[in-house]
Amino acid sequence: MISRRRTLSLLAAAGSVPALSALAGCGPNASPGGSEEGGGALRVYWWGGDLRNGMTREALDLFTAEHADIAVSPEYSEWTGYWDKLATQFAGGDAPDVLQMDEAYIDSYGARSSLLDLETVSDVLDLSAMDDAVLDTGRLADGTLVGAPLGVGIFSVGVNPTILEQAGLAMPDDTTWTWEDFAELCTAVSDWASSAGEDVVGFDFFGTSAAELGAWARQSGEQLFPREDETLISKDTILAYLEYALALVESGAVVGPSEQIEDFAAGVEQGRFGNNRSAFHFQFHTQVQTFQAASGSPLRLLRLPARTSGDPQMVNKASMYWSIAATAADPQSAATLVNFLLRDPEAAKILKIERGVTAFPELQDEIETVLDENEMISLDFARQMQSEVVRPPLVTPASGVGFGDELSRLGEESLFGNRPPADVAEELLTILEGMQPAQ
């Protein structure tokens, strides 16, 4: 695996330093890949595994069939190798023309003028039908649009109804449940499994994820990286999160920290939720498709538990973006390709919702005609949430380098009992205060 220090040094040389976001990017479809170079062709670079790779290449074939004057050279990689290679390319002046971009990196690259202002090619790339709340997630702090959202991902709860049924437990009411209700339910599952001799727990892991802490903060009226009209997360809020994570371990709702780390590293196929050994799992909602395929179970999606009943503060996160390099030799052709991948109905039917549920409502109807029952769970959930979602948080600023890694490291220290949660909360707050972007 790539050294984190090497990635950061490469990006520093390129004039940008990314914030790493394991939960947002290390999706279940990641797998090793390769590249194809083509002299003079429009280079398109993305991360993903076999499923995404095949879908993307099929869509690109359709594009070249309809645009014979634009040659396309596809390149892809797994998640970690992707950012290492991209940093090297930008540092060497050899960036791809069109690239897949993530929320944790977009400010780092965009703020250094490495990405094209997409509104300069709006005559070709038409994003006017996209909801502003989604489109704005691709903007820098100064309003420059450097990422066209491919779709939305909603941080949510995956649940295995079969395990709840075996345990004699009812499906929770996710419109009213709280974190206390969630803990009790997870503990009840674990207690049943222990008495029945089953290798099952209520919940697989919790306490080391920026997505979790971000939701916890939002439900407390705070943010990890607040705008001018928002409030920075407090030490008390961080402490409550860490103490809740410890309480889950102590009650048996989740396994111990060593097993949690092992389970996270195991991936979908061998992890508890994907292997029918955990009733609940937190993920961005379209990932449930991969867990369904791995487990063979009829998984469902639920709202997050809330700190105050009925207020889960669900948000649309841009699942990822298409960006165009500022150095692209032919921005118009690059924009033509991005427009096709985002808005062409036939391309949408090929790409489906593997990268997130499209933010163009009319395309959702087109895609629905080719989705299977499992895929419809993701689409239906996204549609249902649109009447409830609140303002999405600010994208991770370039100054927020490595917060996810810091939280993971310090959260583990708390879970293992190496340091008091209050000390960890204080250090995390100090780190966050130092990572806030200059106003």
Q: How far apart are the first and last CA of the chain?
A: 36
pLDDT above 90: percentage of residues in the chain: 72
Q: What is the CATH number of domain 155-315+397-435?
A: 3.40.190.10
C-beta neighbour count of 170 within 10 angstroms: 8
Q: Which helix (H) or strand (E) holds 201?
A: strand 201-203
Per-residue pLDDT, 247: 98
- Judged by average pLDDT, the poorest of 228-237, 251-260, 279-288, 389-398 is 389-398
pLDDT above 70: percentage of residues in the chain: 91
Q: What CATH number does domain 4-152+319-385 carry, 3.30.420.40, 3.60.21.10, 3.40.190.10, 3.40.50.1100?
A: 3.40.190.10
Residues 202 and 185: beta-carbon distance below 8 Å: yes
Q: Could you give the CA distance from residue 124 to residue 332 in angstroms, rounded to a whole number?
A: 7
Per-residue pLDDT, 48: 87
For residue 341, name the pLDDT band (cuts at 50, 70, 90).
very high
Compute φ and ψ for 180, nearest 5 degrees: -65, -45
Joined together, the tokens standing for residue 229 give 């009209």
Max alpha carbon distance in the chain (Å)? Answer: 67
Could you report the per-residue pLDDT of 51-84, keeping only the tens digit for each? Answer: 889 999 999 999 999 999 999 999 999 887 899 9
pLDDT mean over 295-307: 97
Q: Could you give the CA distance from residue 279 to residue 404 in angstroms, rounded to a whole number?
A: 25
pTM of this prediction? 0.83
Per-residue pLDDT, 267: 81
Q: Could you give the CA distance from residue 117 to residue 122 in angstroms, rounded to a whole number?
A: 10
DSSP 8-state assignment for residue 136: G
**Residue with more model confidence, 8 or 306:** 306
3-state helix, strand, coil in the chain (%, to 5): 50, 15, 40
For the chain, what is the total number of helices (H) and then of strands (E)?
18, 11
Residue ranges of the chain that CATH labels 3.40.190.10: 4-152+319-385, 155-315+397-435
Q: Which helix (H) or strand (E) holds 135?
A: helix 132-135
Per-residue pLDDT, 1: 32
Kindly give, in sequence order, each residue whose CB lies less than 8 Å from that of residue 350, ignoring residues fewer than 6 positions away.
Answer: 55, 58, 59, 62
**Residue with more model confidence, 425 or 268:** 425
Q: Could you give the CA distance from residue 236 to residue 239 in angstroms, rounded to a whole number?
A: 5
Position 271: which residue type? Answer: G
pLDDT mean over 260-270: 87
Could you report the per-residue pLDDT of 3-45, keeping only the tens digit for each? Answer: 333 344 334 433 433 333 333 333 333 333 334 444 589 999 9
- For 325-402, where are the alpha helices, taking DSSP H only? 331-343, 345-351, 361-368, 373-385
CA 416 centroid distance within chain? 26
Beta strands in 17-161 (DSSP E): 42-47, 72-77, 98-101, 148-149, 152-153, 155-159
Per-residue pLDDT, 28: 33
Q: Could you give the CA distance from residue 12 to residue 18 in angstroms, rounded to a whole number?
A: 9
Q: Could you give the CA distance from residue 111 to residue 38 in angstroms, rounded to a whole number?
A: 29
Joined together, the tokens standing for residue 199 give 């290798």
CA distances from 132 to 88, 207, 360 (A): 33, 32, 11
Position 417: which residue type? Answer: G
For residue 217, name the pLDDT band (cuts at 50, 70, 90).
very high
Which string of DSSP letters, residue by residue, matches 288-339? HHHHHHHH-S--EEEPPPBSSTT----B-EE--EEEEBTT-S-HHHHHHHHH
pLDDT mean over 155-174: 98
Q: Could you give the CA distance from residue 21 to residue 122 in angstroms, rounded to a whole number?
A: 30
Joined together, the tokens standing for residue 122 give 């709006």
Residues 286 and 153: beta-carbon distance below 8 Å: yes
Q: Could you give the CA distance from residue 332 to residue 351 in angstroms, rounded to a whole number?
A: 23
Q: Could you give the CA distance from residue 109 to residue 105 in angstroms, rounded to a whole number?
A: 6
C-beta neighbour count of 350 within 10 angstroms: 20
Q: Could you give the CA distance from residue 127 to residue 41 in angstroms, rounded to a whole number?
A: 25
**In whole numbers, what is the pLDDT of the chain averaged over residues?**
89
Per-residue pLDDT, 401: 67
Per-residue pLDDT, 74: 97
Q: Could you give the CA distance from residue 194 to residue 207 in angstroms, rounded to a whole number?
A: 23
